[in-house]
Structure 1
Amino acid sequence: MSQQPTPYNQQEEEINLREELEKYLRYWPWFLISMLICIVIAFLYLRYSTPIYQTKATIIIKDEKKGGIMSELSAFEDMGILSGMGGGNSIENEMGILRSKQLITDVTKKLQLNVRFYAEGDVNTTEIYENRPFEIQILQENEEELIEAQIYSIINETETGLTLQNELTEEELNLNFGEPVNLDFATIVINKAEGYTGKFDDLLQISFTTVAAVADNYREKIQLNLTDKNSSLIELNLNDPIKVKAQQILDQLILEYNRQAIEDKNLVATNTARFIEDRLDIITGELDSVETGKEEFKESNQLTDIQAESQIFIENASDFNKKKQDINTQLELSNAMLDYLSKDSESDLLPSNLGISESGVNSVISEYNTLVLERNRILRGSTLKNPVVIDLNTQIEQIKANVLQSLQRMRSNLRIAKGDLDQQAATMGSKIASVPGKEKQYRGIERQQNIKEALYLFLLQKREETSLSLAVTAPKAKIVDRAYSLKEPVSPKRKIIMLAALILGVLIPFIFIYLKQLLNNKIESQKDMQRAIKMIPLVGEIPKVARKEEELIAKNDRSVLSEAFRILHTNLQYLLVNSGNTEGANVLFVTSTVKGEGKTFAAFNLALTLANSGKKVLIMGGDLRNPQLQRYEMDSKDLKGISDYLVDASLSLPSLIKQSQLHSNLDLLASGSIPPNPSELWRTAKANTMFEDLKSEYDYIVVDTAPVMLVTDTFLINKYADLTLYVVRAGYTEKKLIEFALDAKKDGKLHDVSFVLNDVKLSNFGYGNKYGYAYGVEKEGFWEKLKSSF
């Protein structure tokens, strides 16, 4: 059983990669122009865009828990001078502090970043940072009045001053160097910069912005990154057009961070030193009073050495006295601490490590100071409404209550112990009753002296230790790499932009051509008719005629148009051989699907081509409804013709045929008057007679017929045709209309049909005009090819 042929509409067409590429390569001039334009735009962008450089700095946060600062001060840990001062730090918290608004605001004020100088050029406006011609000092500033940036242009400079113009209000302001001037939002002083060596020909501008706006801007631009998740190395990045400016910002940021960290660490030690100084003043006065009393007692009682008299009792009571001395010291310290707690301290910090023997009390005081410091650090970048701050305040109040309770309990215990010792003292007193009253009184004075002296020496030692801790405070952030800028800009990247421009230059025409082909539903070349010409042959292609060119060919014409019709003539000879016509003229019908596809144009030029070959040719106006022969034969509109002949029996064909003005071998039979019933006229027997009579008189009869999709006239007379030329116009005929021609042939309404592709661009002509369709004709220039490609 033989295999059934696959229907055409179900066949899969093989996609030829080379043919697909040729669809785009034919537009190579547009690709070249697009790439050149994109490269020029990229070059101009790189030429006039401001390069952005990356500036980096690296620091290491010293962790007190892991060594850091404390490892350098380990010699003081035994003194207890640094216990409770800090409790370690979280890297995330430190990074948050580095990016805090307050810290960056301090940097902005220190470097005066809210005042900037600009040099206005022809294309770009460039900021001047290093070599500024003037120095500006802000004496007073009111940021509430500075709603938006204020820009002043320096329009005149003299030896004594400047003339500024407000860019917004165009108001001019004259000022003298070194004298204060009021700018509504600030009071400033402008002076000439010392050592200024530059010279600017461009217009200079001064911009004033709020500190908060500049700080917020740099807060967003500064990036912090951990070099490793397990390390405390922090890398600071800042992208800015001015390298020196970015370096100074990062260095100043680290400096401000260390300054605030040192202030935090010294806060407890400062309060402790103040407390010690106050107590030393009191103890010094008391010690002076006791020593003076002792001196007066000895002088009045003429005492020299009473130690020998009570040596035995003193040795037995030495342990007792030592205990009593310690208890009195601890009781004095507890009273001092309770007295300090009763006062409102501005810093809320408590003195630590004064020598209180109760470890629980020291622990609670250390914990209290740690929480106060943590709360104060958070308040620098936050408010009292912060949930963390509220929670810390609650904890501080609780611990403060614990401190007070612990001190009160400690004092109660000391008083009880003192009471016990007093009872023992009474017992001991009875034993030394034999000692003269003077000795007893002397011992009381000496005891008071020893207590005050011990406390005095203790406070002196603590004062020195506190002063030493203040003197050796180290920065919290150690600088690993000072701020430095990369040589190559991070933006714009020249290589990437040039490559992108090259790719975009190729992509733009490619997308345009692809969309143009995708959305185009018109026939452009014979490739668009591949399916149709497998059923109906394509016998010729007619090139597009420019507006200034002649539409009709002439004798001995060597244009592409005339060569196309000569090729059409040659191809017709092969088709006419198989038509079966052995007698009379060859009748050629020229038709199309709809109006405007170039039937009349093709019919006239085909007739002229046949006439130029020496044949006797007749061109007939077969479209009785809408005659078009008058386009090329001006007089044919008023001539009687076919419709008149078919209606009026008195008319003869020879009387209606006129010689064409275009060629001596060409005759013309006009359409005639427009009848009300063209279809009925073509159905008459006289129409058959007309064609039979004409065939005996001519070699070729070319009939310009009506569009087959609009009316049925052409179908009615197609039986008289030896060959039907179906004109399709490139760029005008929709692809789906080709189906109508195929269906007409399939249904037998048209016979011996051949396609003629009209109005083809030279870029689509034949095989892309690649193999000599314009042989012997002057070649088109580049711009002509460029215009014809689209």
Structure 2
Amino acid sequence: MNTDKNEYFDFIEENNAVDLKQIINKYLKYWPAFALSILISLFSAFVYLRYANIIYKSEAKVKLLNDKENSNFTLDVSKLFNKSTINLENEIALLKSVHLSEQVVKNLKLNVEYYYNSRVTSKQIFNPPFIVSYRDGASNLRSALNYTITVTASGYTVLDIATGESVEVKGYVSDKNIPHFPISIKPALGAIMAKNINKSFNVVLKTLHKTALELSDAFEVDAEGKDSDILSISLKGTNGPQSEAVINNLIYVYEADGITDKKEVSRRTINFVDDRFVYLRRELDSIEISKKDYKKNNKLSFIQEDAGSSILQKAAKEQTSFDIESQILLADLLKNSIESQKAFELLPADIGIQNLIINQLVADYNTAVLSHQKFQTSAGSSNPSVQLLVSTLTSLRNNIINSVKGYKQQLRTTLVQSESAQKEAEGSFASLPEKEKVLRSIERQQNLKESLYLLLLQKREEASINLAVTIPNTKIIDYAITDIHPISPQRSKIVLIAFFIGFCIPFGILFTLFKLDNKIYTAADVENTNTALPILAELPSLKDDKDTVMQNLEAFRTLANNTNFITPYTGDQLGKVLFVTSSIKGEGKTFVSYNLAAAYAHLDKKVIIIGADFRNPQLHKHLNNTTKESQGFSNYLYDGTIEWENLLCSNGDDEFPFDILLSGIIPPNPTLLLSNQRFEYFIDQVRKAYDIIIFDTPPTLLVSDTLMISKYADTTLFVLRSGVTQKNLISYSNKLHKDQKLVNMGYVVNDIDFSSGYGYSYNYGYGYGYGKDIEKETRLQKLKKKIF
């Protein structure tokens, strides 16, 4: 059996305009699925909103003050005119540092979390009826502990979740140590234990470091604007008052940390000045003794007063030399102080050196030393930030030493020039006794040490005052305030998303099924695939009610009339031969053949229907008292002694009768039988005897029988079945038409369920012997199979 079917599967489906109304109707059929999915999704959203934690945002605002804005006491009025800038990024990093967060955790005991176990879920609470603490101190806790504590009428039941060990604790005494457990428990202030009997709580004790890391990540610190000195500190949490307390405590810790830094600088300055006082006192005592001895040995009591302008000039030059030597001595003191340091330590600030660059370098060095001490404590010496600070401190230290050396070199040069000028001024004093000159030198050294002593005493007083009246460099604009509107969950947004998801799930499933479904359902599907061949009729699904039967009859009458339009008129009085075929089995060609014959009979035509499908005949099912083995057309073609008129059957309708010639006994070789010369003779005979001759032929894709006898047809009706025929078979049938293997073709779309759009209520199977009967399924049935 040569079917030659593979060559007909090479085709290209054309893209056609989209019928939006048709697409919407396809999905509207499944509105119960959409409604159910949306209801389930909305119910899930409401359940989530019922038990989800409500997150609020608490926020505080702090302004950072610079040196001009704070009220620290200072005698150096130059600071009032210097522009001081604030590095907000550094301050933000400090506020988010683990060091400060750990202080907040210690202050508020945030490393202990309490959860109330309800029947549905477990939620964190911030006002528990009891307080749990680690007996050895929170700082010594090295791993998390997890307990379930149930309040009973007589005390507590404590369960270690990790080990499963349980302990009964009698009474609600204050600070009760739990036997076998490293924790203690006490009632919360103002708690009424009777209200919490039989309630269960989960208590989690976490390490300080882990809690501080989590809290540091939770803080959000941002500048209010590009040029603003105001920082916004915010925290998200389920309990607004708790978040407010955490933020306010962070501000307090931050201010205390800044005050501590400033006080430390003042203390270091006082200690430095005190150390220098010992040295200066010793020097002053030595000069005083030398002066006394010199006067005593040389019998001097008063220095003669200089006269005229020469004395004034000499005094001015001496003052200049005195100032320069003072600066050289101060520079030596600073240089010796920084070179004597074995580790990075704070340097004395503003000791009187009249060099802005050196003073600024000392201030930067002290700031870097403080940062190094903080980060080394929290991060360790191997941390990249600490190593960067060490490099910065080394660079600053070298810069200070080099700057001091350069400054001293400059002072010595100036001193040489001043001494040269002084020698010129002293020319007028050549007559003064040598003793007076020596005495002047001693007094100059005495004045130098006294001035330096007074300067250091002034700096010590300034540092003492700053130590006593140090205030933070922050101004609180707003303490932490919690927004009354939660930021999560957003109810309207979640409901909208749930509705969208509920809509998209069935839509996505149906869209996938529709995309994978390559069957035709209406005439529009056929026209979108092939516009070359006409559609002669759309046959509705057959149901048992009377209206549907009448509708089917009208549809077949329409098919009969439309067939007349495409059937060629030859001018003779011979009957017209109609071939009814299809691509595959199960498309209803026998059903169409029989009902088309009935429609022609109602049009007063003399009609005969002939079963030409010898392989799996179905025509006998429409008659009573006939079987597949009843004699028919195959017997006539095989046996030359049999007349076809003797094999005819009647449809049993006396009012609109037509003749039926069954297929007959199934032959061993139907193709050979159809090529018999008696077939052509039979065609000539029935054309003379009948107006309409309808052949129920085999499907074209499975066997070649129909293609072999198609030349005898005046018209070929190609039956397509809604929900069964695939779209590629439309292209296949079009190829048969283009290759002229089937002549004068027209489509008949069978089994359309107009009541539901694309229903599948028709159950007539084709049932060839080479395959099982095809049963149509609704798309909803396919969807149920895929899901369940």
Q: Secondary structure at the match of 1:134?
A: strand
Question: What TM-score does the superposition give when structure 2 sets the normalisation length?
Answer: 0.73
User: Could you say if the C-alpha distance between residues 393 and 282 of structure 1 is closer, same or farther in structure 2, counting changes exceeding 3 Å?
Assistant: closer
**Corresponding residue of 2:5:** none
Mark the CA change 1:350 to 1:511 in structure 2 (over 3 Å): closer, same or farther. Answer: closer
2: CA distance between counterparts of 1:606 and 1:688?
23
* Structure 2 residue 486 is matched with structure 1 residue 477: no
What is the CA distance between 1:566 and its match in structure 2? Answer: 0.9
Aligned to 2:633: 642
Counterpart for residue 76 of structure 1: 75
Structure 2 equivalent of residue 255 of structure 1: 252
Q: C-alpha deviations, 1:345-402, integer Å up to 9, x for none?
A: 8772234456x6x635x97477335303323214523546523421322432553587
Q: Amino acid of the residue matched to residue 113 of structure 1?
A: L
C-alpha distance in 1 between matches for 2:216 and 2:621: 78
Amino acid paired to 1:390: S
Contact kept in structure 1, 2:536 and 2:559, CA below 8 Å: no
Q: Would you say 1:373 and 2:363 are equivalent positions?
A: no
Contact 2:57 2:235 (C-alpha < 8 Å) held by counterparts = yes
Q: CA deviation at 1:313?
A: 5.5
Residue identity matched to 1:212: H
**3-state SS of 2:546 partner:** coil
Q: Structure 1 residues 759-768 or 595-604, which shifts more? A: 759-768
Q: Does 1:706 align with 2:703?
A: no
> Which residue in 1 is equivalent to 2:205?
208
Change in Cα spacing, 1:659 to 1:153, as seen in structure 2 (3 Å) is: farther
Q: What TM-score do the two structures reach when normalised by structure 1?
A: 0.72
**Which among 44, 49, 52 is matched to residue 52 of structure 2?**
49
Question: What's the secondary structure of 1:204's corresponding residue?
Answer: strand
Instruction: Map residues 11-26 of structure 1 onto 2, 5 A cutoff.
Output: 18=21, 21-25=24-28
Match of 1:97 in 2: 94
Whether contact under 8 Å (2:610, 2:696) holds in the other structure is yes
1:111–1:747 distance in 2 versus 1, CA, 3 Å:
same
2:269 match: secondary structure? helix
* Post-superposition offset of 1:672: 3.4
Q: Which AA in structure 2 matches 1:124?
A: T
Structure 1 residue 193 corresponds to structure 2 residue 194: no
Once structures 1 and 2 are overlaid, which stretch shifts more, 337-346 or 622-631?
337-346
Q: For 1:729, give the aligned amino acid.
A: R
In the alignment, the residues of structure 2 paired with residue 331 and residue 716 of structure 1 have an alpha-carbon distance, to the nearest angstrom, of: 124
Does 2:568 correspond to 1:567? no
- Greater displacement, 711-720 / 46-55: 711-720
Q: CA deviation at 1:214?
A: 2.9
CA-CA distance at 1:205 after TM superposition: 0.8
Find the aligned partners of 2:408 and 2:180 in 1 and give their Cα distance. Answer: 60
The aligned residue for residue 718 of structure 2 is 726
1:12-43, CA deviations, whole angstroms, 9 ceiling, x for partnerless residues? 96666555555555555554444444433333
Residues 525-566 of structure 1: CA deviation (Å, up to 9, x unaligned): 1111226466323323232x7xxxx7xx6xxx5153x24421
Tell me how large the CA RMSD over aligned residues is: 5.6
Please list the CA deviations of residues 272-294 of structure 1 after superposition, one character each: whole Å capped at 9, or x if unmatched: 22345567789999999999x9x
Structure 1 residues 182 and 662, CA gap change in structure 2 (3 angstroms): farther
User: Gapped runs of 5+ residues in structure 1?
Assistant: 1-8, 298-305, 433-439, 441-445, 770-783
Q: What's the CA shift for 1:673?
A: 3.5
2:223 equivalent to 1:222: no
| Mapping for residues 586-597 of structure 1, pairs under 5 Å | 589-597=579-587
Question: Separation in 2 of the partners of 1:714 and 1:333?
Answer: 121
Give the percent of matched residue pairs that are identical in Structure 1 and Structure 2. 29
CA contact (8 A) 2:615 2:670 kept: yes
One-letter identity of the residue aligned with 1:558? K
> What letter matches 1:241 in structure 2?
T
Shift of 1:765: 4.8
Counterpart position of 1:154: 149
Q: Is the 8 A contact 1:30 1:786 kept in 2?
A: no
Say whether the 8 Å CA contact 2:152–2:197 is kept in structure 1: no
- After superposition, the Cα gap between the structure-2 partners of 1:663 and 1:363, relative to the gap in structure 1 and judged at 3 Å, is same
- 1:463: Cα distance to partner? 4.5
Deviation track 1:278-318 (CA, whole Å, cap 9, x = no partner) reads: 67789999999999x9xxx9xxxxxxxx9xx9875598999
Q: Identify the match of residue 546 of structure 2 among 549, 552, 558.
A: 558
Letter in 1 for 2:187: K
CA 1:640 to 1:202, structure 2 compared with 1: closer, same or farther past 3 Å?
farther
Distance 1:428 1:236, change over 3 A: same
2:536 paired with 1:538: yes
C-alpha distance after superposition, 1:45-69 (max 9, x if no partner) = 33332222222221111122xx222
Is the Cα–Cα contact under 8 Å of residues 718 and 746 in structure 2 kept in the other structure? yes
Q: How many residues align?
A: 716
How many angstroms does 1:222 deviate by? 2.3
Asked if structure 1 preserves the Cα contact closer than 8 Å seen for 2:324 and 2:411, the reply is no
Cα distance change of structure 1 residues 640 and 380 upon mapping to structure 2, 3 Å threshold: farther
Q: Distance between the aligned counterparts of 1:96 and 1:235, measured in 2?
A: 13
Q: Distance in 2 between matches of 1:341 and 1:141?
A: 40
1:468 is matched with 465
Within the alignment, does 1:390 sit opposite 2:385 as a pair? no
1:715 maps onto 2:703 in alignment: no
Q: Which runs of 5+ in 2 are unaligned?
A: 1-11, 424-428, 762-777
2:65 to 45, 48, 62: 62
Kindly tell me: are residues 213 and 702 of structure 1, through their superposed partners in 2, closer, same or farther at Cα, counting changes over 3 Å?
A: farther
Q: Supply the distance in 2 between the matched residues of 1:29 and 1:15 (Cα, whole angstroms).
A: 25
